[in-house]
């Protein structure tokens, strides 16, 4: 029995294309991406790093509410999202705001989401996405349903959802991948394994030595990929998308990554559960450093381009927070009218009461 388990676990070796020095170490796995695509991937990662720094600062100034830092996870987040098409449906978790923005949610609305304003959850027409899920793992069940919908309609589109290592220890995770597997639904399940569920290390969450191997029980492909390597992440997710739209069913992708910052800005102190050595070890694997080296060697990226992207990101953040400030505060009556098509009689009374109060 022990051998059987070891044989299974050994099949989930981590796939890497670009090493820490920015060298291609797995030429045959190299995805088909144009020079413009490569530059766009870099631009998105640099932009997102700036957005993260600015969001943390805005949160400390009391100008944002809920915020879950993203630095360290850019390759995992943006490489996977780059494999999606506009018609695909995105089901993010609370840390996946960057993917939502690149899928079409305007930045000022992402800021409103952070502030708990309902307009942050109203996807613009044509943006196929749900707002970030706070209930750990719940989006996995929803993704199975969306994916089955695509399958039944014969659409060449996927539902792609994200959770963390902690999410992969939840019941909803197993239900979602199992159901989608049974119906060969058009789903791609991504687990960003940043090694911690708040303060709980991944080793304490499960006896399984990888997340990817959990695909075996669901009878679907599982892939373990270097989550600090944007090329490897893109490749794995793009292939999973191809399988899904070709009727081959869902896949589970584990991206092995790390979050540099705290869990959220609500008072988490990572020094209480992580060592400085571990932080240093992961910062050496940084997704931006290795991809920048690779692109610079190809003559595709320069300090000038980097600075231009940083400035653009700062300007856009400034404009978006100003726009968010200008949005009318939400009222109690807004919540009532958005929740129901027809108000129940008891709420009709309250509606009148609050309209009266709000008019003063
Ligand atoms: C069902 C549920 N249980 C507990 C929580 C509290 N909680 C919020 S984040 C979190 C950790 C999740 O860790 P992981 O899935 O690894 O994602 P990460 O934050 O590392 O990206 C927990 C337990 C929750 N939001 N929902
Ligand atoms: Mg985690």
H/E element, 4:
helix 2-10
Strands (E), 116-167: 159-164
- 123 shares its domain with 223: yes
HSE-CB at 217 with a 13 A cutoff on CA atoms is 13
- 135-193 pLDDT, tens digit per residue, is 999 999 999 999 999 999 999 999 999 999 999 999 999 999 999 999 999 999 999 99
∠ CA 259-263-269 to the nearest 5 degrees? 105
- 281 shares its domain with 173: yes
User: Residues with catalytic annotation?
Assistant: 259, 263, 273
The closest ligand to the CA of 195 turns out to be 2
- 254 shares its domain with 175: yes
DSSP secondary structure string for all residues of 8-55: HHHT-PPB-SB-TTS-BS-GGG-----HHHHHHHHHHHHHHHHHHHHH
The closest ligand to the CA of 166 turns out to be 1
Pocket test for ligand 1, best of 166, 204, 259 (most atoms within 8 A of CB): 166
- Total domains present in the chain: 2
Parent domain of 356: 331-360
HSE-CB at 204 with a 13 A cutoff on CA atoms is 7
- 230-239 pLDDT, tens digit per residue, is 999 999 999 9
- 246-273 pLDDT, tens digit per residue, is 999 999 999 999 999 999 999 999 999 9
DSSP secondary structure string for all residues of 249-280: --EEEEEE----S-SSTTT--GGGTS-HHHHH
The per-residue pLDDT for 106 is 98
User: Does the structure show a pLDDT above 90 at 222?
Assistant: yes
Asked whether 25 lines ligand 1 (CB < 6 A), one says: no
The per-residue pLDDT for 2 is 84
| CATH number of the CATH domain containing 198 | 3.40.50.970
- 221 shares its domain with 307: yes
Asked whether 141 lines ligand 1 (CB < 6 A), one says: no
The per-residue pLDDT for 1 is 83
Which residues crowd ion ligand 2, with CB under 5 Å? Answer: 164-165, 194, 197
- 67 shares its domain with 112: yes
Region 263-287: what's the mean pLDDT?
Answer: 97
- Enumerate residues 6+ apart whose C-beta is below 8 A from 204: none
């Amino acid at each position: 029995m022990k051998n059987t388990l070891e044989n299974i676990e050994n099949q989930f070796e981590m796939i890497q294309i670009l090493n820490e020095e920015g060298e291609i170490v797995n030429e045959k796995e190299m995805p088909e991406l144009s020079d413009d695509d490569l530059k766009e991937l870099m631009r998105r990662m640099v932009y997102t790093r700036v957005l993260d720094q600015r969001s943390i600062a805005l949160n400390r100034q009391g100008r944002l509410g809920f915020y879950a830092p993203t630095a360290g996870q850019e390759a995992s987040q943006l490489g996977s999202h780059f494999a999606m098409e506009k018609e695909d449906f995105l089901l993010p978790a609370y840390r996946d705001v960057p993917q939502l923005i690149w899928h079409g949610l305007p930045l000022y609305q992402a800021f409103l989401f952070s502030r708990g304003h309902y307009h942050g959850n109203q996807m613009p027409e044509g943006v196929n996405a749900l707002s970030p899920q706070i209930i750990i793992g719940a989006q996995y069940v929803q993704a199975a349903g969306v994916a089955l919908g695509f399958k039944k309609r014969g659409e060449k589109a996927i539902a792609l959802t994200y959770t963390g290592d902690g999410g992969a220890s939840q019941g909803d995770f197993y239900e979602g991948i199992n159901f989608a597997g049974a119906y060969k639904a058009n789903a791609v399940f991504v687990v960003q394994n940043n090694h911690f569920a708040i303060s709980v290390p991944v080793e304490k969450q499960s006896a399984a030595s990888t997340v990817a191997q959990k695909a075996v029980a669901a009878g679907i492909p599982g892939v373990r990929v270097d989550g600090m390597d944007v090329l490897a992440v893109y490749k794995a997710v793009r292939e999973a998308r191809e399988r899904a739209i070709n009727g081959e069913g869902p896949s589970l992708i584990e991206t092995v990554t790390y979050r540099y910052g705290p869990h959220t800005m609500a008072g988490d102190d990572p020094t209480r559960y992580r060592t400085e050595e571990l932080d240093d070890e992961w910062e050496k694997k940084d997704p931006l450093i290795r991809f920048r080296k690779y692109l610079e060697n190809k003559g595709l990226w320069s300090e000038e381009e980097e600075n231009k992207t940083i400035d653009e990101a700062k300007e856009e953040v400034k404009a978006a927070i100003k726009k968010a400030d200008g949005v009318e505060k939400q009222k109690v009556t807004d919540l009532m009218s958005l929740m129901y098509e027809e108000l129940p009689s008891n709420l009709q009374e309250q509606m009148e009461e609050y309209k009266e109060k709000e008019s003063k």
